[in-house]
Amino acid sequence: MYDFTTIIDRKNTGAFKYDFMPEPLRDSGIVPMTVADMEFAAPPEVNEAVAKAAFHGCYGYTGPDKAYMDAVKHWQKTRHDWEIENDWYVVTNGVVQALGIAVRAFTKPGDGVLIMTPVYHPFYGAVNDNGRTLVKSALINNNGRYEIDFDDLESKAALPEVKLMLLCSPHNPIGRVWSRDELQRISDICLKNGVLVVSDEIHNDLILPGFKHTVFASVPGASENCIVCTAISKTFNLAGLSCSNIFIPNPELHEKFRNRAHVDGCGCVPYIARAATIAAYNEGANWLDELISVVDSNFGLLYRFFEERLPMFRVTRAEGTYLAWIDMRSLGLGHEKLNEFMIEKARIADNDGEMFGEAGDGFRRWNLALPQSLLNDALLRLEKAVKEL
Ligand SMILES: Cc1ncc(COP(=O)(O)O)c(C=O)c1O
């Protein structure tokens, strides 16, 4: 049994969620549900390995040695039934960094890059900030469940300027775990139209009971036409170690990506991240299974509370991630007023759905990787604020 109930004081650790929280909630003692990291300590097995590495004392340049690659392979095989090879591998210091590297490596300024919206906001930056053209295919919101508009996706993929697709799988913020069939259709459309797929699978291990993650490269036909981005960061709350594992089975694409990554300064597996990865991937499975049941039970509490006490809001049923997507359009407050309401009346620090694209206007994203008592407090504050409206 691991500890998922202790409330950890993260103030003055430099945490974005706390020490950069906007006023007036900054020093309020309210636990934020914003940035996608967890209010739980990483697995104790990882903390021990990190401490041991720290006490060793030589924080030199380090790379993906055999112990590291064996751990990575073991995890992909046991968790995702995916056999990877050493020469598919490239290290980057984050998945967002990898998205930018892929955009620069595989497209020219002005080329189109396809995304499905609403989506994790840095997808927009990876395209716009590199001078490429964003081509959006809006997901269809069917009573809270999001689906791919394949006709639209196909017509966008067929545009001559579109060269790359950034796929979010599982999809933040709407919590879909794309099925094998859906991924097959995406792959077929992209292959047919000469569009390379960058599959951001950072949430691949955070899959709720009843669902299964499919590695994009394992879909028939896809492996030669994709970049798969993974990391220890979301899975084990290790984002601050800045280390991601990118896999590219196609040797030509691998070389192009690796060269571009080197130009951008990648190459080392950070010393502490190496120790953490080996411990997490070899010894972290039980901790992760428990975490998933805690997150699942938080989702259960959230669904029940909204159904019974706040039925005017619709909550999307998450299949993966620890992120809840809540439709608050029924309040009819408009964008600014809804933000004000959440902060000043409900006293909840969450994410404004609009940051994920215009279809997110009126929605909120809540991070449920926190002790249940804190989620309960937030729900009660929201209920009270709604009653007082
Ligand atoms: C879909 C997705 N990709 C990437 C990231 C961040 O990746 P990194 O911290 O490795 O850059 C996040 C974090 O929330 C995410 O949700």
pLDDT in tens, 134-158: 999 999 999 999 999 999 999 999 9
User: 243: Cβ below 6 Å to ligand 1?
Assistant: no
How far is the centre of ligand 1, averaged over its atoms, from the C-alpha of 202 (Å)?
6
User: 271: Cβ below 6 Å to ligand 1?
Assistant: no
Residue type present at position 363: F
What pLDDT is recorded for position 315? 98
**DSSP letter for each residue of 177-233:** ---HHHHHHHHHHHHHTT-EEEEE-TTTT-B-TT-----GGGSTTTGGGEEEEEESH
Q: Is the Cβ–Cβ distance between 313 and 330 less than 8 Å? A: yes
Return the DSSP state at 246.
E
Q: Is the Cβ–Cβ distance between 321 and 172 less than 8 Å? A: yes
User: 357: Cβ below 6 Å to ligand 1?
Assistant: no
Distance CA 113, CA 303 (A): 35
Distance of CA 210 to the CA centre of its chain: 19
Angle between helices 44-56 and 271-283 (to 10 degrees): 150
User: 367: Cβ below 6 Å to ligand 1?
Assistant: no
Residue type present at position 41: A
User: 244: Cβ below 6 Å to ligand 1?
Assistant: yes
Q: Specify the residue with its C-alpha closest to ligand 1, atom 13.
A: 36
How far is the centre of ligand 1, averaged over its atoms, from the C-alpha of 17 (Å)?
15
User: 204: Cβ below 6 Å to ligand 1?
Assistant: no
Which atom of ligand 1 is the closest one to the Cα of 36?
A: 14
Residue with token string 């992909």? 76
Distance CA 79, CA 284 (A): 11
What pLDDT is recorded for position 34? 96
Rounded to 5°, the CA angle 44-47-48 comes to 90
User: 120: Cβ below 6 Å to ligand 1?
Assistant: yes
Which atom of ligand 1 is the closest one to the Cα of 119?
A: 1
What pLDDT is recorded for position 244? 98
pLDDT digits (tens, 9 = 90+) for 236-288: 999 999 999 999 999 999 999 999 999 999 999 999 999 999 999 999 999 99
CATH 3.40.640.10, applies to 58-283: yes
User: 96: Cβ below 6 Å to ligand 1?
Assistant: yes
**Residue 348, Cβ neighbours under 10 Å: how many?**
22
User: 246: Cβ below 6 Å to ligand 1?
Assistant: no
Mutate to test the pocket of ligand 1, among 17, 96, 269 (most ligand atoms within 8 A of CB): 96
How far is the centre of ligand 1, averaged over its atoms, from the C-alpha of 231 (Å)?
9
How far is the centre of ligand 1, averaged over its atoms, from the C-alpha of 71 (Å)?
21
Block mean pLDDT (10 aa), the chain, length 389? 96 93 80 95 98 97 97 98 97 98 98 98 98 98 97 98 98 98 98 98 98 98 98 98 98 98 96 98 98 98 98 98 98 94 94 96 98 97 96
* CATH C-level class of 16-43+285-387: alpha beta
User: 36: Cβ below 6 Å to ligand 1?
Assistant: yes
What pLDDT is recorded for position 21? 86
Three-class DSSP category at 49? helix
User: 200: Cβ below 6 Å to ligand 1?
Assistant: yes
How far is the centre of ligand 1, averaged over its atoms, from the C-alpha of 307 (Å)?
30
The tokens describing 81, both together, are: 């039934």
Rounded to 5°, the CA angle 173-178-181 comes to 160
Distance CA 374, CA 389 (A): 23
Domain ranges of the chain: 16-43+285-387, 58-283
Equal fold, 16-43+285-387 vs 58-283? no
Closest CA to 205 of 241, 236, 181: 236
